[in-house]
């Protein structure tokens, strides 16, 4: 009886150590092709992830927390899949090769190469929200990097398919303050275009939005 008890304790300890080696973690915003697990000994914060690209699986990639809170599927494609930024402009330029006039083909190639830089833009927003005021119709998006010199004229922001006026917060340059559309409902699609290129395209769930005591939207005119 005593021998059986000792064997049971040893077997239980073995199961605990085996199960503690890899702690599976569910992502807050599941991304197709992305799988992650908590890193042992990191306090369940650091995550080791693998991402599946058309040309194969990339990883392991180490993150200090849940990457789905700050990155979208488009961000993963741009950062870790080699073929994504090259497939949009080089293919259309080759089919019109059997053209009789030699003067037309160089102009078509010139216009195609001019479009290439537009598709290869780094994300501007971290896709997280620090404040959402339904009463004042204002929302603060966190920037990936503080950008006090960012020109509002270079941005085109749409929230729930409606135009939004945005500016770098004068008190905290790591935030982009934008107006919220009237009668907005969540989840809402947020699309940010900079100099003609889409740099962020994600779905905001509306978590954290409330009616707060904040300045009215007329305040935006003081910070164009």
**DSSP letter string, 83-115:** TGGGTTTHHHHSTT-S-S-TTHHHHHHHHHHHH
169 phi-psi bin (left φ>0, alpha ψ -120 to 50, beta other) = beta
Every domain of the chain and the residues it spans = 2-80, 125-215
Which has the minimum average pLDDT: 25-39, 98-112, 157-171?
A: 98-112
Radius of gyration of the chain measured on its C-alpha atoms = 24
Is residue 179 within 8 Å of 134, Cβ to Cβ?
A: no
Minimal CA–CA distance to 130: which of 43, 208, 52? 208
Looking at residue 153, the DSSP 8-state letter turns out to be G
CATH number of the domain located at residue range(s) 125-215 in this protein: 2.60.40
Q: φ, ψ for residue 189 (rounded to 5)? A: -80, 135
The string of pLDDT tens digits covering residues 119-134 is: 447 899 998 999 999 9
pLDDT for the residue numbered 180? 95
The whole-number pLDDT of residue 120 equals 46
Confidence of residue 201 (pLDDT cuts 50, 70, 90): very high
Question: Alpha-carbon torsion 9, 14, 16, 17, what sign?
Answer: positive
Mean pLDDT of 205-214: 81
Q: Report the candidate in 103, 57, 96 with the shortest Cα–Cα distance to residue 76.
A: 57
For residue range 61-73, what is the model confidence (pLDDT) as tens digits? Answer: 888 888 888 888 8
Per-residue pLDDT, 86: 40
Most confident of 35-49, 73-87, 101-115, 154-168: 154-168
């Amino acid at each position: 009886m005593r021998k059986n008890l000792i064997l049971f304790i040893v077997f239980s300890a073995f199961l605990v150590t085996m199960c503690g080696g890899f702690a599976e973690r569910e992502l807050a915003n599941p991304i197709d092709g992305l799988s992650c697990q908590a890193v042992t000994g990191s306090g369940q914060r650091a995550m080791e992830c693998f991402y599946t690209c058309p040309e194969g699986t990339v990883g392991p990639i180490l993150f200090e927390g849940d990457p789905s809170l700050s990155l979208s599927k488009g961000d993963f494609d741009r950062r870790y899949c080699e073929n994504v930024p090259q497939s949009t402009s080089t293919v259309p330029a080759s089919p019109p090769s059997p053209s009789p006039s030699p003067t037309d083909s160089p102009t078509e190639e010139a216009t195609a190469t001019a479009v290439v830089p537009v598709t290869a833009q780094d994300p501007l927003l971290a896709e997280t929200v620090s404040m959402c005021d339904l009463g004042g119709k204002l929302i603060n998006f966190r920037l990936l990097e503080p950008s006090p010199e960012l020109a509002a004229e270079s941005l085109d922001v749409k929230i729930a398919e409606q135009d939004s006026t945005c500016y770098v917060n004068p008190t905290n340059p790591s935030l982009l303050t934008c107006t919220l559309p009237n009668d907005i409902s969540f989840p809402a699609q947020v699309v940010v275009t900079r100099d003609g290129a889409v740099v962020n395209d994600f779905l905001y769930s509306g978590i954290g939005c409330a009616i707060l005591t904040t300045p009215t939207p007329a305040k935006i005119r003081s910070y164009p």
